[in-house]
A and B are shown apart, each in its own frame.
Chain A
């Protein structure tokens, strides 16, 4: 009786392991073939934040600040989806060059992204020499070098990247922790909280009518931006 019950449990366990192996196999294949999670496209959510909230003076931007549409991205330099977004965002913006001003805010979305803040500060510090966007792209390109790095090691890594970009290293090292850079980074974090950013990348589009739309994933952003009639 007792051994019969144990045999039954062992049988269930073996069957469960076999079933799990069969079920998990497609997910392993999918992980090899797709770089990001599969999500369904939702309609944009109307957000309460305004153009002025999302685009304060001194925020890093590309394009004419008076362009009719404002596109704002919140990203974490250690978020893999954000790194894959760089090229796609560029391509989408290139299609609406004269109508869109693009603003970027570097934030830390997860506590285990221990290097995210120093990376955001590195971009701000490079910006003091007019190289924000070069550093921005280099950080995303070299994202894997920062995985699990504590603060001092992350600083060494951003210094290496800054050197490779040919920056003035004396100035960059000083700027990395200067008040203006720290304030710029902290401001992005505050705006993200106000804008209720829950994940990265998150995009906001402010239309000429002053309406702010929240697009909570790269796919939603790309679909909205490329849909005919949305950008006029």
Chain B
């Protein structure tokens, strides 16, 4: 079991790459919602239906509808990447641990939010958007990486 738990340094790299990947998708969806880019839906039908659903703007909450839901994801991924970058600079100590704790907390909330959005796609809108599914997968991977990360590096890996 311990074999699959990544070293903090490796885990941080994975989190950084996943955050950039998720951020890129969220940026694309945000720009598409703001009509700066065409939303390409590919082979999966119903993607445009998901994009037109009220939950695609401000999670469907009154007062937040001016902000595309993807923009919240973009902010989350940007903060996640910034915290990873910080952890690459400050490799130990209280602030390093605090950054990781914030990342874990954000990832937990994000998994909950994505579970809700996936539920909406499956049971309310009854249509799928591959971009939303892709960001959900990225978020789950982020969550798993952060949760499985070793709390301290192996003694033989310290140089």
Q: Which residues does A use to contact B, with CB under 8 Å?
A: 1-2, 5-6, 8-9, 12-13, 16, 19-20, 23-24, 27-28, 30-31, 33-34, 36-42, 79-81, 109-112, 198-200, 216-217
Contacts and interface: CB of A to CB of B under 8 A. Distances in A.
B53 interface: yes
Interface in B47-74: 47-49, 51-54, 57-58, 60, 62, 65-66
B45 A37 contact: no
B17 interface: yes
Nearest to A200: B52
Contact of B24 (A20, A33, A216): A20
Interface of B: 9, 13, 16-17, 20-21, 24, 27-28, 31-32, 35-49, 51-54, 57-58, 60, 62, 65-66, 81, 84-85, 88-89, 91, 124-127, 159
16 contacts: A2-B91, A9-B13, A16-B21, A23-B24, A37-B51, A38-B42, A40-B41, A41-B45, A42-B45, A79-B52, A81-B52, A109-B54, A111-B58, A111-B60, A198-B127, A199-B52
Contacts of B65: 110-112
A11 to B, nearest CB: 11
Contact of B37 (A6, A28, A112): A28
A30 B159 CA distance: 50
Nearest to A33: B38
B42 to A, nearest CB: 8
Contacts of A39: 41, 45-48
A30 B40 contact: yes
B157 to A, nearest CB: 11
B133 to A, nearest CB: 15
Contacts of B36: 28, 31
Contacts of B39: 37-38
B45 A24 contact: no
A12 B81 CA distance: 11
